[in-house]
Amino acid sequence: MYRPLYDDTIQSLVFIADGRTTEDVLSGSVNVFVCGGLQNPEKMANILGRNAPFAPAAANGYARTVAEVGGEQIPFMVPADDPGSVLTGVVWLDLGEQDVKNIETLELKGNVRKRVEIRVQVGEKALEALTYVRR
Instruction: Report pLDDT digits (tens) over 22-73.
Output: 999 999 889 999 998 999 999 999 999 999 999 999 999 999 999 988 898 9
Amino acid at 70: G
CA 88/CA 82 separation, integer angstroms: 15
Integer-rounded Cα Rg, in Å, for the chain is 15
Q: For domain 3-134, give the fold.
A: Hypothetical upf0131 protein ytfp (3.10.490)
- The pLDDT tens digits of the residues spanning 75-114 come to 899 999 998 999 999 999 999 999 999 999 999 998 999 9
Give the per-residue pLDDT at 28.
85
Instruction: Give the residue ranges of DSSP H helices in 35-120.
Output: 41-48, 97-107
Contacts of 129 (CB under 8 A, 6+ apart): 31, 32, 33, 57, 91, 117, 118, 119, 120
Integer Cα distance of 36 and 20 in angstroms: 26
- CB count within 10 Å of CB 53 equals 24
Write the burial class of residue 109 (CB in 10 Å: 0-12 exposed, 13-18 middle, 19+ buried).
exposed
pLDDT at res. 23: 93
What was the pLDDT predicted at 114? 97
Q: Which of the four pLDDT bands, split at 50, 70 and 90, describes residue 122?
A: very high
